[in-house]
Amino acid sequence: MQGFFSRLSSLFTTLSGKSGTALIDREHYTDELLSLDMSFSIAERLIGGRETPGRTPVDALKDRMKQILVSAPLIEPKCGILMIGINGSGKTTTIAKLGKWYVDHGYSVITGAGDTYRAAAIEQLAILSGRVGMDIVKAMPGVDPASVIHDAVTAYKHRSRDVVIGDTAGRLHTNVNLVHELKKIKSVMTKAMAGDRMATYLIIDATIGKNSFQQAKLFNENIGIDGIIITKLDGTAKGGIIFTICDELRIPVVALGTGESMDDFMIFDKGTFVEELFK
Ligand SMILES: Nc1nc2c(ncn2[C@@H]2O[C@H](COP(=O)(O)OP(=O)(O)OP(=O)(O)O)[C@@H](O)[C@H]2O)c(=O)[nH]1
Ligand SMILES: [Mg+2]
């Protein structure tokens, strides 16, 4: 497990070395979990749970962790992905990481530069696309984002690509017009996919902590979210936020962003994640 999960991991590794009675040093472990960005309610459920007949305390703890976490596999090609989230959360960077992941697994990827508000945003995606081996469909700044995404899906179909990923401009979830525009982009993309699988992924910046919940709830109510990618986990050195996000939102986390380089990306599977924490 990478460095930023090391505190979380060493806590659980310590627990797994203890006997059943030592496991119930509740106060100490609750404080530790709170300091890792878990909510009090989660810390209580993890540490304060009753013993489960037939399960060792550590196995019971792992079970409770898996009940709190929610994960799902990445959408399988052929497919379309729409990336949404607030400004600077990591959408464009994550599109490149995700694109690279699909390319590394043998799929062809095309991306649509749907953030047409800033020339720099189009340029950023173009540079990253070249670096990871994705095609890009782009237009001049100011063009209707929905039309760019539509063109990207058309290119995906014509060129028989496996994955199409649409970038969008950072949105304030509280701005009605912006959310309305996102709805339009999603409906245009869904229609253009013509029955191919599609997912909308919300990018959440781990460093903003609890402020992300309301944001995610509003995006989910208005746009519909199929999965979450939590970015900037390297900036928190905590990792407990993953539990808090899952517990609050009950929307599956599909992947984690753990740095600025294109390989700082992990697929999230709760079973594997929990086992890794105890190693
Ligand atoms: N440390 C770290 N930085 C990240 C991660 N993901 C993205 N970033 C950085 O966060 C900043 C914003 O990333 P972008 O991908 O441009 O974010 P965005 O959501 O597309 O931003 P807008 O298009 O302005 O809304 C960049 O400096 C990225 O390098 C991550 O997992 N870890
Ligand atoms: Mg961007």
Cβ–ligand 1 distance for 115 under 6 Å, the answer yes
For the chain, what's the residue count? 279
Quick one: which ligand is closest to 113's CA?
A: 2
**Ligand 2 center to residue 23 CA distance, Å?**
45
Pairwise CA distance, residues 145 & 178, whole Å: 11
Tell which atom from ligand 1 comes closest to the C-alpha of 257: 31
Q: What is the pLDDT of residues 217-251, one digit of tens each?
A: 999 999 999 999 999 998 875 678 899 899 999 99
Positive or negative: CA dihedral 79, 127, 169, 206: positive
Q: What is the pLDDT of residues 49-79, one digit of tens each?
A: 667 788 877 888 889 999 999 999 999 999 9
Strands 265-267 and 253-257: antiparallel
Identify the residue whose tokens are 């059943």: 20
**Ligand 2 center to residue 149 CA distance, Å?**
14
A 10 A CB-CB count for 80 gives 25
Whole-prediction pTM: 0.93
Which residue ranges make up each domain of the chain? 79-277
Burial 225-236 (b: 16+ CB within 10 A, else e): bbbbbbbbbbeb
Cβ–ligand 1 distance for 144 under 6 Å, the answer no
Could you tell me which of 87, 88, 85, 113 has the C-alpha nearest to residue 99?
113
Pairwise CA distance, residues 140 & 204, whole Å: 28
Three-state SS at 198? strand
Q: What is the pLDDT of residues 142-160, one digit of tens each?
A: 999 999 999 999 999 999 9
Domain 79-277 in CATH 3.90.79.10: no
